[in-house]
Structures are given as C-alpha cells and as structure tokens.
Amino acid sequence: MEGNEEPSHARDILICITGLTPQVVTETLYALAVAAPSDQRRLPAEIHVVTTGEGRHRLEHTLLDRSDGAPGELQRLCTDYGLERDAIRFGPETLHVICDPQGRELDDITDPDGNAAVADCINALLRQLTRDPLLRLHVSLAGGRKTMGFYAGYALSLYARPQDELSHVLVNAPFESHPEFFYPPPQPRRLRLPQTGETVSTASAEVRLARLPFVRLRDGLDPALLDGEIPFSTAVERAQQSLDHPELRLDLTHRKVYLQGHAVRLSSTHFIWLVWFAERARHDLPPMPFDESAAKNLLRLIVYLEGHGITPIHEAVASAALELEHGQRSNYFERTRSRLNRALSERSGLTPRAAERYHIKASGRRPHTGYALDLPPQSIHIEGEP
C-alpha cells in the first residue's frame, strides 16, 4: 500500500474508550453513520470498547438488548435511522475490560498500576487490529479518563496505517453526559435536566465528529515492535530508540562501548574493529575496500593501541594479526564484519533497526566494494585517547 491509498474492501472498525458514559458509543456511531456528509458516512462492521468493570456493566445495561426483549439504545439508534444492526458486531465479546496483573477487573483508574493496565489493554488491541490490512480503524477519544484518551491516541500514532482515523465526538450542552441522552432521535423528545428540573428538547441537540490529525510512526518502527506481544511502556521505549539520534561512545581506557547509552560487551577483536571504523567515520573518510592497505592499517592500529596500553593483545587479536600477515584477508574481513554486526544487534538491547545503524555496511559493487560505519562525525565520541 503506497501513500494514502486505502486497501480495497476495507471493513470499518469503531473503537471507543469509555468509563461511566456509555453514551459516547452511540453518539460516535450517530456522528459517523448518520450525521456525516453522505459521501463520508461509514457503518462499522464491529464496535470495540475499552472500559472498566463498572463501565462494562453500564454498557451492557444501556446499549445492549435486555433479557426481557426490550431493545437497547444501540438497537433504537439503528431502528430510528435505518441502520442494519445485525451488520454490526457488538456485544460482550467486543468489550475489553481493563484488568490488573492478577486478572481482576478494575472499576476505576486511580493509581500508576491502573494507568499501566489501561495502556497495555489499549496497546494490545490496536496492535492486533492494525495487523489486518483490510480493516480501517476509527478510534474515538471521547469518554473515559484523560489518560485513557491519551493512551489511545498515542497507541494509534504508533500503529496506524494511512486508512486509520482518530476523532472526538462533540455534543453541545446540556446534552453532553446527560444520562438519558444517547443520540438525537428523529422525533424530538424532552429531557429533564438533573440540576434544575427544567426540561429541554433534543431538537436542539448537536452531535458532530471532529477528526483529529496525528503523526503516523508505523513505517519508521522496527517490524519486531509490530509483531510482538509487549507492554505499552516497552513499545514506546523501542519506538523511541528508532527515533533518537544515533550516538556511539567508545571508552578506550576501560574498553567499553555504548550505543545510545546502552552498554555493549565486545571481544577484543570486535572492539578494535569498532574503534577502527569509528575513527574513519569521525574524520569523514570514504568507504574503505578490504585490501592489503586496509590490512596494514588495521595492524598499525592494533600495534598502536597495544603500545599505548589501551587494550591488550588477547589471543583473538593475535590470531587476527597472523591471518592478516599471511594474506588471508578476504575470509578474515568478511567473517569479522559479520560477527561484529551480529554482536552489536544481539548485545545492545536496541531493536534490530536501531542497532543496524551501528553496523559496518558495504557499498558499491565488486570488485569495488567499500566498507564503512555510516554515522555522522558528531554522533561519535571516543574517550581515553593517548
């Protein structure tokens, strides 16, 4: 899918966030499927709601049909405006109740653990639904606590495709949050205001949908972030790794390596290699072919570092020197480059895409292939130089 092109035969999915106001579901559906301009109306194939335990009780009591056969508010809306209720999947199975780590439903969000549970619930739902390219998500921020709306918008920013939308339903006073107002019925009726006892006609009710622009980060994320089952906080941390500016810090005195602040333990050989390519990148030198000149440069660096007490010549480094001196350059260079890149990915704690920025990369075609650490000089810091 390219640009803003939508997948063919997209199925619309409405996602609402609610607390103690189930009305936002019917209000959003009304705005989306009835009040919108005719060319923008959408009847969702499914409605998913993230809510609390008490919120779930209110949703089931008001929106769903009752056991005695009386229609719920969702059925009333569909009947009033000719919408096909059977075409909308909405029931207990699409109500996602926020639970604590022990699996107990939360009736309210009042502490940091509750906030984390909200974030994880919303994150998991949006990540799952955005895996299907034939779904078009419409996420509403109305309802619930402010943190719930924040997490919904942030998670959508992480996972949204071009076809996905974010909105907030706007209802004028005094109908906003009125316990008996669920949508403007075609035949107006009067509602009593709890505060004053006066009545007001629903003919003056206005329900509008405000579509909200947001930044879509999905294309810049590591694929592992989109496919895995991870908490929201981890998803944010890993997304940030790909967005942060690269930073390589080498401590020659203590032979330590840090990628974006993450310590990486490397062998003597790999440490020297990283110093070698970091020095070249810091001086903005072009990609280097793996030839006799490169072998001599590496040997000089090994001798230089050893002579200044920066790093000992361990057995692995001594073996490398022997290979280079005996003309076995090709196998040594390719093998060491591959192993260094793998070590940087596996030991850095960064996502694969973030770690890849520190790999020694090849450019050009054989026999003119060159190798370089493709980092800007200002991203490289070498400490402990003699």
Range of lowest pLDDT (158-167, 198-207, 228-237, 264-273)? 228-237
Provide the pLDDT for residue 330.
59
Mean pLDDT across 205-228: 84
Higher per-residue confidence, 109 vs 11: 11
Tell me: the pLDDT tens digits for 23-37? 999 999 999 999 999
For all residues of the chain together, what is the average pLDDT? 87
Taking each helix axis from N to C terminus, what angle separates 329-347 and 315-325, rounded to the nearest 10 degrees? 150
Provide the pLDDT for residue 1.
43
H-helix or E-strand spanning residue 154? helix 146-159
Contacts of 385 (CB under 8 A, 6+ apart): 252
Provide the pLDDT for residue 24.
95
Query: CB 170: neighbour CB atoms within 10 A?
Result: 14
Give the pTM.
Answer: 0.74
The CA-CA-CA angle for residues 221, 227, 233, to 5°, reads 65
Q: In the β-sheet with 135-140, what is the strand arrangement from edge to edge? A: 95-97, 46-51, 11-17, 135-140, 165-171, 207-211
Does residue 67 have a pLDDT over 80? no
The CATH classification of domain 11-241, taken from the options 3.40.50.10770, 2.40.110.10, 1.20.1050.10, 3.40.50.720: 3.40.50.10770
Does residue 87 have a pLDDT over 60? yes
Domain boundaries, the chain: 11-241, 247-383
Mean pLDDT across 169-181: 92
Range of lowest pLDDT (57-71, 274-288, 309-323)? 309-323
Contacts of 220 (CB under 8 A, 6+ apart): 242, 243
Tell me: the pLDDT tens digits for 108-119? 888 888 889 999
Provide the pLDDT for residue 319.
59
Provide the pLDDT for residue 222.
72
Instruction: Name the residue among 124, 129, 149 with its Cα closest to residue 21.
Output: 149
Mean pLDDT across 313-340: 67
Provide the pLDDT for residue 2.
45
H-helix or E-strand spanning residue 268? helix 268-282
Mean pLDDT across 297-308: 77
